Amino acid sequence: MGMVTDPESIFDSTKMQNIGGPKKPVLPRYYFPLIIGIVLAEAVALGFILFDIFPLSHSFEVYPFAQYSPYVNASDVTQLSVTITRWFFFLLTAGVLIPTTLIIIMEVTRRVLIARKGESNAWDDEFSWLDKLDKVPPVPADTTARVQGDYITRFDIHQRIQHYVLMGSFIVLAVTGLLRGFPDWPTFQWFTSIFGGTEVLRLVHDIAAFIMIADGIYHLGYIGYGYFVKHKSPSAMFPRWKDLKDIIHTALWIFGMYKHEPEYDHFQYGQKIDYWVIFWGMPVMVITGIIMMFPLFFSQWIPGEWFAVVATAHRDEAILATGFILIVHMYYGHLQSTAFPVNTVMFTGKMLKSKYRQWFGREYAQITREKEQE
Ligand code: HEM
C-alpha cells in the first residue's frame, strides 16, 4: 500500500493527531460548528454566483464606462457567440464549483463522524489493485538539506515571492474588477465611491494586472531557469497515475471504507488541480484583459461582437476564479482540520516536521530516511 512502515511516522487520521514530533493542539471545540457554518454559507454564495451567471436569468451587459464599450453595441451582446461564451462559462463554473463544494461537504461530514466516534470501523486499507497505479518517485537530490531542526523547507524565496505577489495582485484585481463589473449593485456603488470612483478602480486594476503578468513571467522564468540551468525538473507538479489512485483512495475514505487518507509525495492531487486551474485561468484573464485594455489597437482586427465575447469571458472567468479561491483554495489551504486556522508554509517556506508527515507522508519518509543515512 506504500504506507510508511516506521510506527513513529504514522499519522493517525482517525484521531486527527500527529504521532511524534511537536504536537499540533487538538482541534478547538468550535472548529466543526465554524466549518459547517462557513461551508454552508459558501454553498449559498455559490447559488447566488450561479444564478448571476446563468445565461437565461438576465442578459449580459457591457459596463458603460469601460474603455472597450464604444466598440460594442447592444446587438453584439445578444449575438450567438456571446451566448455560447456565457453557456460555456456557466457550465464550466457549475461543473467545477458544484462537485468541489459537494466533496468539501462530504469530507467535513466524514471528519465530524470520525471526531464523534473517535475510531472508525473502516476496512483495512489493503486494495492491491490500487497499488498498480502507484510508483514511488526517486528521492529528489536536495532532500537532506531541507531538514532543519523541527522544520522541513518546502518553498524557496522565489516561490514565496511569486505567491505573495500573486495573492496581492489577485485580491486587488478581484476587488477592483468585480466592483466595476457590477456597477448597478448599490453596495458596490458605495464601495466604488469609497475607493475614489470608477477611474481610480480602472487605474488600480490596470496596475495590478501588469504586476500579475510580471509575476507570471517570473514564474515561467523560474521554472525555465530551474530546468535548463539547474537541471531541476518541474515534474512533481505533473499529473501521475498515483493522483488517480489518491482520488479513489480519498473517495473510499470519505465513504468510510478506508481508515487513513492517502500518503502523498511532494504535492497532493488537490494542490496540482489548484495549480493547473490557475495555469488555465491566467492566460484567459491576461489575453482578454489586454484586449480590453487596448481596444483601439485590437479593433483593427476584431469586430465589436468579439469585444463582447472577450468582456463576457473576462467577467465570467473572474467569477469562477474568485469563487474557486474562496471556496476550494481557502478550504484546502487553511480551513481543513490539518491546516486550521492558518497554514503558514507559503509565507515562511517551512513546515513543521509533524505537519509535513501528515501532509506529505511518503515524501517525509523518504527525506527522513535519507537524513538518517547521512
Ligand atoms: C492580469 C490580467 C488582467 C488584465 C490585463 C485585466 C484587465 C482588465 C481590463 C482592461 C478591464 C476593462 C476595464 C475597462 O475598460 O474599464 C477589466 C475588467 C474586469 N476585470 Fe480584469 N484584468 C486582469 C485580471 C483580472 C482578475 C484576476 C480579475 C478577478 C479575479 C479581474 C476582474 C475583472 C472584472 C470583473 C472586470 C469587469 C468586466 C466588465 O467590464 O465586464 N480581472 N480587466
Are 359 and 351 in contact, with CB atoms under 8 Å apart?
yes
> What is the C-alpha separation between 44 and 140, in angstroms, rounded?
43
Regarding the beta carbon of 112 and ligand 1, being less than 6 Å apart is answered no
Check whether domain 7-373 has CATH 1.20.950.20, yes or no: yes
* Structure confidence at residue 116 (pLDDT): 75
- Average pLDDT of the chain, as a whole number: 84
CB–CB of 96/324 below 8 Å?
yes
| Residue 34 CA, ligand 1 centroid: distance in Å | 33
Residue 183 has a pLDDT of 76
Q: Which residue has the higher pLDDT, 9 or 137?
A: 137
d(CA 277, CA 255): 26
Please give the single-letter amino acid code of residue 361: G
Give the C-alpha separation, 275 to 237, whole Å: 8
Q: Where are the domains of the chain?
A: 7-373
Report the predicted TM-score, pTM, of the whole model to 2 decimal places. 0.86
Of 124, 89, 83, give the one whose Cα is nearest residue 323. Answer: 89
Ligand 1, from 173, 178, 195, 277: best to mutate by most atoms within 8 Å of Cβ?
173
Decide if 275 contacts 287 (C-beta within 8 A): no
Nearest CA to 170 out of 91, 270, 281, 264 is that of: 281
Q: What is the pLDDT of residues 88-145, one digit of tens each?
A: 999 999 999 999 999 999 988 888 887 776 655 445 455 566 676 777 666 666 667 7
Which is more confident, 68 or 129?
68
